Amino acid sequence: MNIPMRTYLVTQGDRSRGRGTGSIVRAAIEGGVDIVQMREKHTSARERYELGKELRALTREADIPFVVNDRVDIAAAVDADGVHLGDDDLPVSVARDHLGEEAIIGRSVSTPEAASEAERAGADYLGVGAVFATDTKDVNEGEAEIGTETIAEIAETVDIPIVGIGGINADNATEVVNAGAAGVAVVTTITDADDPAAATQQLRQAVENGRTTV
């Protein structure tokens, strides 16, 4: 499965300076984002469903993949392309049974062992983090600031693509890609930017720079 994910936006409404998540996603699309994940932790199922339908329409119009964080039921309800799962979410195999062979299923990992297990379970890509310090999410001790060395180890271990996540911006994205990531996933670099479209473009350029210098 060839999933475009050089620049991967993970949404978070409460880190978007009061701007609607729809407007952030529209700007990211204008800036050339490759894939969008709806991640709205403290909202009801109904709110996620309504926002999910809006983001599905925007991403469909832009012809880019749309993934829902955590919730297989909401992914199915809004006709998303897939779901992103972590340790507290449904197993990859269960999501696969519900969403089908064509669905994009991402899995969070922070060690080579967990990466191998997720690949065996049928994940299509891995989100690996937290690469650098972040205050967007409380990351467990041992999974914080794993660095680009762990990105390199995991990239060597699995055949599926990986994206780095956590504290990534246009100044350090090149390093993440040079370590072996297919791309970078970000929340605040885009959602909290003065100009989310320009921030997406700069991130994209940093990723491209990595590809040409590897």
User: Count residues contacting Mg ion (CB under 5 A)?
Assistant: 3
> How many CB atoms are closer than 10 A to CB 26?
17
Q: Check residue 143 for interaction with Mg ion (CB under 5 A).
A: no
Count of chain residues binding ligand LCLJCK34 (CB under 6 A): 17
Give the Å distances, CA to CA, from 187 to 2, 40, 214. Answer: 23, 11, 25
Which residue in 6, 48, 84, 204 binds ligand LCLJCK34 (CB under 6 A)?
A: 84
Binding partner selected for residue 106 from ligand LCLJCK34, ligand 3NM, Mg ion, none, CB under the kind-specific 5 to 8 Å limit: ligand LCLJCK34
* Span 173-192, contacts to ligand 3NM by CB under 6 A: 186-189
Residue 134 binds to ligand 3NM (criterion: CB under 6 A):
yes
10 binds ligand 3NM (CB under 6 A): yes
8 A C-beta contact, residue 91 and residue 65: no
- If residue 162 lies in a helix (H) or strand (E), which one and from where to where? strand 162-165
Beta carbons within 10 angstroms of residue 54's beta carbon: 15
Identify the H or E element spanning 54. helix 45-62
80-to-2, 9, 36, 104 alpha-carbon distances in Å: 17, 15, 10, 9
Of 10, 34, 38, 70, which one interacts with Mg ion (CB under 5 A)? 70
Site for ligand LCLJCK34 in 87-146 (CB under 6 A): 89, 106, 108, 127, 129, 137
d(CA 165, CA 189): 11
Measured CA to CA, the distance from residue 57 to residue 71 in angstroms comes to: 18
Minimal distance, residue 74 CB to ligand LCLJCK34, in Å: 13
Residue 145 near ligand 3NM by CB under 6 A: no
Other CB atoms within 10 A of residue 195 CB: 12
Please enumerate in sequence order all residues whose Cβ is within 8 A of that of 194, keeping only pairs 6 or more positions apart, or say none: none
Catalytic residue annotation: 39, 108, 137
DSSP string, 85-119: E-TTS--HHHHHHHH-TTSEEEEEESSHHHHHHHH
- Per the annotation, binding residues for Mg(2+) are 70, 89
Binding site for Mg ion (CB under 5 A): 70, 86, 89
- Per the annotation, binding residues are 37-41, 69-70, 89, 108, 134-137, 167, 187-188
Binding site for ligand LCLJCK34 (CB under 6 A): 8, 10, 37, 39, 69-70, 84, 86, 89, 106, 108, 127, 129, 137, 163, 165, 185
Binding site for ligand 3NM (CB under 6 A): 10, 108, 127, 129-130, 134, 136-137, 139, 165-168, 186-189
